[in-house]
């Protein structure tokens, strides 16, 4: 994927911020679309050599967050079923 495609993919999760640091390294933060006053972010880290690398790393982190949330929801559904 090129950078534009990566950014489009990242935007499916939420707001995307890409930053180049003084040492020419890149980072990316994806701020998830959530309810008001709740912040949830996936970050690339500060050691990426290119913007493309930073966005890809943030997407991987966002995917891990989503998978973790799915697992938690599945556990909560099982718990809720016990009380029906």
Dist CA 47 CA 53 (whole Å): 9
pLDDT band at 74 (very low <50, low <70, confident <90, very high): confident
Residue extents of the structural domains in the chain: 3-82
User: What was the pLDDT predicted at 44?
Assistant: 97
Q: What is the pLDDT of residues 30-56, one digit of tens each?
A: 999 988 899 999 999 999 999 999 999
- 31 forms beta bridges with 15, 41
pLDDT band at 83 (very low <50, low <70, confident <90, very high): confident
Q: Residue range 51-65: average pLDDT?
A: 98
pTM here is 0.86
């Amino acid at each position: 994927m090129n950078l534009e495609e990566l950014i489009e993919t990242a935007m499916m999760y939420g707001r995307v911020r890409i930053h180049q640091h003084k040492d020419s390294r890149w980072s990316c933060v994806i701020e998830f679309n959530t309810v008001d006053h709740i912040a949830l972010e996936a970050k690339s880290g500060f050691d990426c050599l290119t913007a493309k690398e930073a966005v890809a790393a943030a997407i991987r982190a966002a995917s891990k967050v989503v998978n973790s949330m799915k697992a938690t929801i599945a556990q909560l559904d099982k718990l809720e079923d016990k009380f029906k």
